[in-house]
Amino acid sequence: MEEKRSKLLITVFCIIFIIASITLILTYSHIKSSRKKENIANDTNSKIENETSIGETAETEEINLYDYKNPIIPEGFKKVETAIASWNLDENGCPVGWNNGLVIEDNDGNQFVWIPVKNINELKRKDGYYSGGKQDYVNNCKEADDVNSTVESKALYESIRKYKGFYIARYEAGIENELRKNVQDGTIKPLSKQDVYVWNKIRWGSAYDYALDGVQGSDKADGAVKVARSMYPNVEQLRTYNLPSDLTNTTGVISTLCYGIQWDLVIEFMEDVKNTYTNNKYVEDSTDMGWFGLNSKSKLQLTGTNLNGNESNCVKNIYDMAGNIYEWTMESYKDNYRIYRGGMYEMGNQKVSASTRGHSIPDGFGGYPYVGFRVALYLK
């Protein structure tokens, strides 16, 4: 009896030992597996973090390749030497005239001026000045592109951020045949040349165009927005912007109507310029440096006509930002209106400036001579 009991105890003990051993083995295996999975996860996360870091570094390095003091010459354009802005390089390898208005020219003789932008993220909208005081516009302004949800403003913003600047037309938009100003569907491209007719009597777009997209202030209707886009079009967006399907673009730029942000950047670029006679800032009081008041004698001038015989209406190689004609921009006011900037030839001496804002409905001024536009370019 005792012998049987001893054998039974031994058997139970062996079973308990085997179960404990199996449990221990399984527990160890589970811990080992968990640690392996954790290590794989850590390696994966580390790889992702490294790839992200590499991507961010590559993007930063790409942006750092470009210098606002040393602009890109886009394909299809050449450098133009001027009296105040030379492309000759200084000891740092930058053009001597980088801050005075470097000029480029396309194969057809259209000219544009480089606007350096050190950091677009630091830009704040500029208040306009009129009759000696600040205007109350900025808080109610935004780009009209925001309303229509196009991709144009995003591409433009990223281009300015990457290349640290953009080009703006040296002259107000012009046209060779003044009898064809009513053709505003993009089949006639605007000019940026001296001594041509100013393209005025042009609307911004449409106030409300159901036939196109049914949105307030359509930028797809005939008008300044469409004509500006036709100069060097985004060929992938011809249908989107209702442009002629046969337009081409072999240059390194895309053209647009000047955006509000671009106009403000030009104003910032001209911040240090003083009025010829009063010593006021040009961007606050352009009375003696624009075609209006006593200067114009109520007469519209050809593009780039010299004022006072000394080009006082040319600031940093850009003509007539302050006078001769109002200029439509892509900026909107209280959604339903579009902003134009500067002064025009029939205004009196009200201390108008290049920063002055005014507004009208998008299809306003279509038959009136007071407003035109200016083309801006962003690098592809």
Q: What is the pLDDT along the chain (380 residues), one digit of tens a residue?
A: 555 555 555 565 556 656 655 555 555 555 455 554 445 445 545 544 444 444 444 445 555 689 999 999 999 999 999 999 999 999 999 999 999 999 999 999 999 999 999 998 887 788 898 888 889 898 888 887 655 456 788 899 999 999 999 999 999 999 999 999 999 999 999 999 999 999 999 999 875 443 444 444 467 889 999 999 999 999 999 998 899 999 999 999 999 999 999 999 999 999 889 877 777 888 888 888 889 878 888 899 999 999 877 788 999 999 999 999 999 999 989 878 899 999 999 887 677 889 999 999 888 766 678 999 999 999 99
Q: Could you tell me the two tokens for 152?
A: 């144009």
At 197, which CATH number?
Answer: 3.90.1580
User: Looking at the 3D structure of the chain, how many domains does it have?
Assistant: 1
Residue 55 lies in a domain: no
Separation of alpha carbons 45 and 40, rounded Å: 9
Residue 133 counted as domain residue: yes
Helical packing angle, 2-64 and 152-163, nearest 10°: 80
Please check whether residue 144 lies inside any domain of the structure: yes
Tell me if 323 sits within 8 A of 286, measured CB to CB: yes
Residue 24 domain-assigned (yes or no):
no
* Burial of residue 86 (number of CB atoms within 10 Å: 0-12, 13-18, 19+): middle
181 part of a folded domain: yes
pTM comes to 0.82
For 266, phi then psi, to 5°, come to -65, -40
Which residues span the domain enclosing 233?
Answer: 112-379
